[in-house]
Amino acid sequence: MRVENGCFCPECGNPVDRKGFCEKHPDAVYPFFVPAFGFNDERQCTRNLIHLLKYSKRRDIGEFFGEVIIERLAAEEFIAQADGFVPVPLYKTKERDRGYNQSEVVAGPICKKTGLPMLSKAVKRIKCTDSQTKQENAKKRQENVAGAFQASDELSGKKVIIIDDVITTGATTRELAIAIKDVGGSVLCALCIARPGIDESKESEI
Ligand SMILES: [Zn+2]
């Protein structure tokens, strides 16, 4: 893999090897996630932009991130293997309040460029979870999202890539991957805009 900012294990957060597997977690529910940007640029641009995307109705920023992500990753093998993209769903009332699902906005240009379908109707968030940024640690994050998602048979036999805005510990995407596996689908990897540390994400409510 040639991914610039690295690929990380969704179970422990450590970088994966060149083949895309974590030594400690070869049986992870999905093998790795890929953040397109680093989070700690001096001016905190990435953090500020994600904040605007989520809380100030700036859809355009999500579209921009989607375009950059696919431009950077278009040649990766996992893109060629995919049958479609699954944006992490929001709970329906949350999506209504926000006006859109930011992960779906990011997925838009990725689907367009690759010609692969956006499989957003194939997954549902069935539990209204508390914000992951309020959870104290990785274990709490995992408990908070347990059983939060349901996938439909449409994903049976499909190889998909999950799209999220930020991935911190990987708990949310891991839970979604479990739901996809439950209906006979598989997750090649997850793509996100950036990856904050747990403390950073609490600090800025991202
Ligand atoms: Zn690991």
- 143-194 pLDDT per residue, tens: 889 999 999 999 999 999 999 999 988 999 999 999 999 999 999 999 999 9
CB of 163 closer than 8 Å to CB of 6:
no
Residue 16 lies in a domain: no
C-alpha 192 to ligand 1 mean position (Å): 18
C-alpha 49 to ligand 1 mean position (Å): 29
CB of 167 closer than 8 Å to CB of 195:
yes
Work out the pLDDT band at 202, boundaries 50, 70, 90.
low
Residue 46 lies in a domain: yes
C-alpha 82 to ligand 1 mean position (Å): 23
C-alpha 26 to ligand 1 mean position (Å): 8
Residue 127 lies in a domain: yes
Q: Is 28 in a helix, a strand, or coil?
A: coil
Q: Is 29 in a helix, a strand, or coil?
A: coil
* Residue 52 belongs to domain with CATH number: 3.40.50
Residue 17 lies in a domain: no
Residue 11 lies in a domain: no
C-alpha 47 to ligand 1 mean position (Å): 25
Distance CA 40, CA 197 (A): 10
pLDDT at 52: 96
Distance CA 122, CA 172 (A): 17
Tens digits of residue pLDDT in 92-137: 999 999 999 999 999 999 999 999 999 999 999 999 888 887 787 8
Q: Which helix (H) or strand (E) holds 193?
A: strand 186-194
Rounded to two decimals, the pTM is 0.93
